[in-house]
Chain A
Amino acid sequence: MTLVAAAIVLWAAGWMLNVRLATGPVAETRAAQLAVPIIFGLTLLGIWELVVRGLDVPGVILPAPSVITATFAAQIDILWQDFVQTFVKGALSGFAMGCVAAFAVAILADRTDFLRRGILPVGNFMAALPIVGTAPILVMWFGFDWQSKAAVVVVMVFFPMLVNTVAGLQDTAAMQRDLMRTYGASYVQTLIKLRLPAAMPFIFNGLKISTTLALIGAIVAEFFGSPIMGVGFRISTSVGQLALDMVWAEIVVAALAGTLFYGAVAAIEKRVTFWHPSHRR
């Protein structure tokens, strides 16, 4: 009970500190803006730890953060191997293939009206397919290893990327296109100099949505048959072994990978579309 009381005290203390920081004279400094979410996160972890210990929650229901951290440190080589299998081989390769393919199809669809009318409904249909239905089939077609996971990812990221790119390519005003025409610019020149740059915010939107989809797809696909490694494999089997600390360690890996991946794409976007109003300071 004392631990639970301590959790309440910790929560109150963290709250007060954050209110002070966020409304006080230092609120505008970079350090304070960084400190507030960090304090919030640490307080949450602290409360979690104290409540789990205080109420004696069984480890198979919810392990304490300290236990998860210890498992993470002890199993770092297995976690790395799973990360490479799921993220690098499955998610990244699927992401690259899916996005490049969607981009190419979007260019084609933009060039011919026939394709645009035909392909968007097909893309729409693909996006509506439930992953739990397609994953077993793709495992059947492409085998148990990362190739089938990449295929699931391709299916998942294709549509958001396609729709965004097609929308982006249409995002130029008639005046701008007319101007290019008066310069005697060819289709390719117009595409590269005017329309693709204008489409960049949309394209990056698609890429950013795809980062998280890719990770989800790769992990869930591993539930439907996999070699004996990978984040999804470990999560699904560790639950059966009641090794919930391992499950949480893998969740941490997936969360870190997903956040960094998204962050990386967002950082590239900032450099490429520096001219866009949303990036003006």
Chain B
Amino acid sequence: MKKTLIGAAAVLGMMAPAVQAQDLDEVTLQLKWVTQAQFAGYYVAEAQGFYEEEGLDVEIKPGGPDIAPEQVIAGGGADVIVTWMAAGLAARERGVPLVNIAQPFATGGLQLTCLKSTGVETPEDFPGRTLGVWFFGNEYPFYAWMAQLGVDTDGADEDGVTVLKQAFNVDPLLQGQADCISTMTYNEYGQVLDAGYAPEELANFNYLEQGVGMLEDGLYVLEENLEDPEFEDKMVRFVRASMKGWKYAEENPEEAAQIVVDNDMTGAQTLDHQTYMMGEVAKLTAGSNGALDPADYQQTVDTLLSAISEDNPAITAEPEGAWTHAITDKALN
């Protein structure tokens, strides 16, 4: 009965074309965001036939501002998702037992970008300012950082800041509505530069360098599925092919950008922007062979645990079994 209900939810998400070749195993991948070079590895693996070589038929479902991958996988709409570790751990604590099976992004691209002309040059300048923050699971690093700095988030005064829920664009900075905004190295930061600001005019705080970095785009599956050897085998092949796609994308950024643009059904992405994005994303994936570094995992967990509050309810206890090397050990040998 439980299966049917969850299955019904899954059907809603799987209106896509049926399999062509019957001997291929189907895998549905739910991305965290819209089709862009942030996910180039998967699109390249698909376009280059790496998935097919592994006997997989992979459906890549783009996300968007109103799609929580954790919810999609809980509803049975995907086999594997791309998400940030903080959101993944939060989901785990709320009863969606996600397990990290691979971590193609070795470092993170989240930053807080401020206009120097507004007087922000160091984190000590934050109090009294208005900061733009992305929510939807992306707010955890921000609140952890503010907790570490001892800055209140309930309004601008000498020891607090005003937090704005920032849409996924850079308008608040350009229009002077916020002193600092969230950017990704590979996307919005480029938009700020495109808007005519020189890097010298901007104060850029990378969350990793501030010691509150959290692992971004990892691959997560449901714990119970891993007990099924068949599913495990599928994931081994999926991770192997995906990492091959990532390395190919790193080496051939222009081709990867073109593949991404070709896969963008909305037609919103431009080749220029995707080429820039691919170049920046390659820096984040460069250090990773796909296996999660337990030290990075621990840093994410420690940062989250050090800043538990109403605003930052990500996790309240040390998670157990939230990652495994079982897949990558087999996939990468």
Contacts and interface: CB of A to CB of B under 8 A. Distances in A.
Interface of A: 1, 4, 55-61, 136, 139-140, 143-144, 222, 224-228, 233, 236-237, 239-243
A140 B91 contact: no
Contact of A58 (B74, B163, B172, B311): B74
11 contacts: A58-B95, A60-B96, A227-B165, A228-B163, A228-B164, A228-B165, A236-B66, A239-B71, A240-B68, A242-B94, A242-B96
Contacts of B172: 144, 225
B46 interface: no
A59 B95 contact: yes
Nearest to A230: B165
A237 B136 contact: yes
Interface stretch (B1-9, B36-44, B108-116): B1-9
Nearest to B94: A242
Q: How large is the interface on B (under 10, 10 to 19, 20 to 34, 35 or more residues)?
A: 35 or more
Interface string B113-137: 0000000000000000000000111
Contact of B5 (A55, A140, A227): A55
Given A237-B135, A240-B135, A242-B90, A136 B167 contact: yes
A236 B175 CA distance: 24
Given A60-B95, A226-B164, 8 more contacts: A58-B95, A61-B6, A61-B75, A222-B165, A225-B164, A225-B166, A227-B165, A228-B164
B87 interface: yes
In the complex, the 5 A-B pairs of residues with the closest C-beta atoms, listed nearest first: A240-B136, A237-B135, A240-B137, A225-B167, A228-B163
Interface in B157-212: 162-167, 171-172, 175, 177
B54 interface: no
B177 A143 contact: yes
Contacts of B9: 61
A60 B70 contact: yes
B313 interface: yes
Contacts, number: 86
B26 interface: no
Contacts of B313: 241, 243
B193 to A, nearest CB: 20
Contacts of B162: 227
B165 A226 contact: yes
B28 to A, nearest CB: 17
Nearest to B1: A55
B163 to A, nearest CB: 5
Given A225-B172, A228-B163, A241 B90 contact: yes
A233 B133 CA distance: 12
A156 B323 CA distance: 48
A239 B94 contact: no
B216 to A, nearest CB: 15
B75 A144 contact: no
In this complex, the member of A56, A58, A222, A237 whose beta carbon has the largest number of chain B beta carbons within 10 angstroms is A58
Contact of A233 (B66, B75, B137, B165): B165
A140 B175 contact: yes
A85 to B, nearest CB: 12
A228 B153 CA distance: 10
B223 interface: no
Contacts of A239: 66, 68, 71, 136
B139 interface: yes
A45 B74 CA distance: 23
In this complex, the member of A4, A58, A224, A240 whose beta carbon has the largest number of chain B beta carbons within 10 angstroms is A240
